[in-house]
């Protein structure tokens, strides 16, 4: 645990030394709120619709941070001598991967703050402080499988390939998961596909906590299944990279 926290602290400080990267975490999600929710009075003026929209974009913020930032960051770090030195230390993969998960959750938490403030100040979104706190904790937990996916991609691909692959993943996952449009508008085949995705499962859980609507029985199972699969993917990618570079 001590080594994991040390790695997490080092990675947070490394990101904080590039202020524009931190600004990106803060600005991008709130810009999505201003462009796609606030101008639409039918959504921003309706308490239920605006609360759902805020929950959906908060989850998109989590997915975006986990995949774009940490997938690409890991791929870039693999080309540096410092990363090669760290891989020769006897601590093993656990503290490094755990530190990256904590680092990702920290910046994901920062990215939620402007979304919550924008929803509170510029829409009629409403939820009790307890529900908001529970939703934030839930969002961080939901972010774990996406962070594992980002870790796996970062260790598996080169820095040039990572950006392309992440672009091919983020927006289809967000759209098909109902983070941009309510799934009630989907055709039957897309709705059936959507219910197998981690983004849709996460959306249903966040909205259920925020609004008190019933939670679909399959959502938790889908998210746990994806977490197990992506944990295996991240471990495989890490070991594969280690085997190729340090055999």
Query: What integer pLDDT is reported at residue 204 of this predicted model?
Result: 92
Q: What is the pLDDT of residue 40?
A: 81
pLDDT at position 52 = 87
pLDDT at 223: 92
Determine the pLDDT at residue 164. 84
Instruction: Give the pair of three-digit tokens for residue 241.
Output: 């990279």
In b/e form, how buried is each residue of 176-202, taking b as 16+ CB within 10 angstroms? bbbbeeebeebeeeeeeebbebbbbbb
**The predicted structure's pLDDT at residue 32:** 77
Confidence at residue 200, expressed as pLDDT on a 0 to 100 scale: 92
Among 107, 100, 194, smallest CA distance to 148 is for: 100
Work out whether the CA dihedral 76, 81, 87, 90 comes out positive or negative.
negative
Query: Could you give the CA distance from residue 86 to residue 171 in angstroms, rounded to a whole number?
Result: 33
- Extract the residue ranges of the chain whose pLDDT is less than 50: none
pLDDT at residue number 247: 54
Residues 220 and 234: their CA atoms lie apart, in Å, by: 21
**Which is nearest to 174 in space by CA: 184, 183, 162?**
183
What was the pLDDT predicted at 77? 76
pLDDT for the residue numbered 74: 79
Q: For position 246, what pLDDT does the model report? A: 57
- Give residue 34's pLDDT: 81
């Amino acid at each position: 645990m001590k080594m994991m926290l040390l790695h997490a602290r080092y990675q947070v400080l490394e990101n904080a030394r590039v202020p524009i990267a931190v600004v990106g975490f803060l600005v991008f999600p709130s810009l999505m709120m201003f462009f796609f929710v606030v101008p639409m009075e039918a959504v921003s003026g309706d308490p239920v619709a605006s609360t759902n929209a805020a929950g959906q974009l908060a989850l998109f913020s989590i997915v975006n941070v986990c995949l774009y930032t940490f997938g690409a960051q890991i791929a870039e770090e693999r080309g540096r001598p410092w990363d090669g030195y760290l891989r020769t230390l006897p601590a093993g993969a656990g503290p490094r991967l755990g530190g990256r998960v904590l680092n990702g959750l920290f910046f994901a938490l920062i990215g939620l703050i402007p979304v919550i403030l924008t929803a509170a100040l510029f829409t009629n979104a409403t939820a009790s402080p307890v529900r908001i706190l529970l939703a934030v904790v839930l969002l961080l937990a939901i972010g774990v499988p996406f962070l594992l996916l980002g870790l796996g991609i970062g260790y598996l691909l080169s820095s040039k390939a990572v950006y392309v692959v992440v672009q091919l993943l983020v927006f289809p996952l967000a759209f098909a998961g109902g983070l941009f449009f309510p799934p009630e508008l989907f055709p039957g085949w897309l709705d059936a596909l959507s219910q197998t995705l981690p983004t849709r499962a996460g959306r249903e859980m966040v909205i259920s906590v925020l609004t008190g609507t019933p939670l679909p029985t399959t959502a938790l199972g889908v998210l746990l299944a994806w977490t197990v699969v992506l944990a295996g993917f991240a471990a495989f990618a890490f070991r594969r990279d280690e085997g190729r570079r340090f055999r």
